[in-house]
Amino acid sequence: MSQNRQIRDVVFVDGVRTPFGRAGEKGIYASTRADDLVVKCIRELMRRNPSLPPARIDEVAIAATTQTGDQGLTIGRTAALLAGLPQSVPGFAIDRMCAGAMTAVTTTASGIGFGTYDVVIAGGVEHMGHHPMGAGADPNPRFMSERIVDPAALNMGNTAENLHDRFPAITKDRTDAYALASQAKLAAAYANDQIQPDLVPVATLKAEQGWTINTVDEPPRPGTTLEDLASLRTPFRAHGRVTAGNAAGLNDGATAALLASAETAAELGLPVKMRLVTYAFAGVAPEVMGIGPVPATEKALKLAGLTIEDIGLFEINEAFAVQVLSFLDHFGIADDDPRVNRYGGAIAVGHPLASSGVRLMNQLARQFAEDSSVQYGITTMCIGLGMGATVIWENPHFVPAGTTVFTEGSAA
């Protein structure tokens, strides 16, 4: 029996997220629990896909970088119960820092491909207002005493400055220009209603404001100018190049996605927005963690038998502008290449750590639906402590160049 086992196709059925908020007491989610943000996403997935019986869900995998408080207690299981899924549906928690949700997707997708699961929910949450990155952590003193990592590796901003040192062609002017473009592209995507369809409205309560229904992201600054960006201080290094304007901020938010085998999606009448081709994770020196997407992408392309020229769309997490530009320079891609982050990225929309991987997938899936000329796209991100992650997806709407498409009423 096991000798005849076949790997099954895995499809991305649907994905949603909360609007992202700014971390801190003034942020929209200051009085909202992290697990409740995940519950909103799970319930919305079920509402949007009524042909899926809740009992058919085989697993719920939810990631969080700081797994304590309202992000602890095996959040995949607790969120499933809080969302009203049957008690028969199991769940678990994942931590791979910024690539948590991406790892939730690849881990459960592997189970689908192997035949263990038919349908899963995978996502992530980060409430950086309640749980600042690294809060409560106790790094082993051997990291420093034995020089296993550079001390700079424990501060993500320092690692970004290190990338500037390694790649002097990536100037602050370039990173500021890239950041400005990210803000502009996100504003345009909002104007074109390309972001809103995947957002779950979240009601929040604050003592001084009462109830508010949050339907848009809080971090974007659409009126930003290059002059504004040039005036910002460089908190990680005197006369440095990394600022709050060319990096993602501290944010709160959650994401969740539905994945299924292709056969199960057909059986239940579920939509197919993307097909998983392959994925890869790679390690790099922790003090230059932002370069991680480069070897991860090279590894994934090799597994898929593709080249970078085969990729028609890139969704790259913008933890720092320098990190994105180092990726683009490595592969010979222009800073303003229209294939890259068409809706803007984390510099504008925010980066609630473990949740961001599914945001990238949501945006890629929508771009696939809009552009049938693209066959393959990637979602990729750097990961704290020196790693990178890349997932390659295929567009189910792809139409090869020169193909005649017949529509209803057209002549055969």
* DSSP string covering 127-168: ETTTS-TTTT----THHHHTTSS-GGGGSHHHHHHHHHHH-T
Structure tokens at 213: 């229904």
DSSP state of 291: G
pLDDT category at 143 given cuts 50, 70, 90 is confident
pLDDT at 412: 41
Q: Are 270 and 261 in contact (CB under 8 A)?
A: no
For 173-198, write each residue's pLDDT tens digit: 999 999 999 999 999 999 999 999 99
In a domain, 188, yes or no: yes
pLDDT at 139: 86
pLDDT at 240: 95
pLDDT category at 1 given cuts 50, 70, 90 is very low
pLDDT at 405: 59
Indicate the average pLDDT of the chain.
Answer: 95
Asked if residue 409 has pLDDT above 60, the reply is no
Phi and psi (nearest 5°) for 358?
-75, -30
Asked if residue 243 has pLDDT above 60, the reply is yes
Number of compact structural domains in the chain: 1
Domain with 374, as residue range(s), is 2-129+148-394
* CATH code of 157's domain: 3.40.47.10
Asked if residue 38 has pLDDT above 90, the reply is yes
In a domain, 186, yes or no: yes
Arithmetic mean of pLDDT, 62-77: 96
Q: Are 330 and 294 in contact (CB under 8 A)?
A: yes
pLDDT at 408: 54
Which residues 6+ apart lie within 8 Å of 258 measured at CB?
A: 12, 13, 14, 15, 45, 49, 52, 119, 120, 121, 270
Arithmetic mean of pLDDT, 15-42: 97
Q: Percent of the chain, pLDDT > 90?
A: 88
In a domain, 66, yes or no: yes
Q: Percent of the chain, pLDDT > 70?
A: 97
For 290-337, write each residue's pLDDT tens digit: 999 999 999 999 999 999 999 999 999 999 999 999 999 999 999 999
Compute how many other C-beta atoms are within 10 angstroms of the C-beta atom of residue 138: 5
pLDDT at 150: 81
Higher-pLDDT residue of 260 and 151 is 260
pLDDT category at 147 given cuts 50, 70, 90 is confident
Active centre residues (catalytic): 98, 351, 382
In a domain, 139, yes or no: no
pTM value?
0.95
For 157-168, write each residue's pLDDT tens digit: 999 999 999 999
pLDDT category at 115 given cuts 50, 70, 90 is very high
pLDDT at 406: 57
pLDDT at 3: 60
In a domain, 400, yes or no: no
Asked if residue 154 has pLDDT above 50, the reply is yes
In a domain, 137, yes or no: no
Which residues 6+ apart lie within 8 Å of 219 measured at CB?
A: 20, 21, 22, 249, 251, 348, 349, 350
In a domain, 405, yes or no: no
In a domain, 135, yes or no: no
Higher-pLDDT residue of 384 and 407 is 384
Arithmetic mean of pLDDT, 400-410: 66
Q: Among 5-14, 93-102, 152-161, name the one with the lowest average pLDDT.
A: 152-161
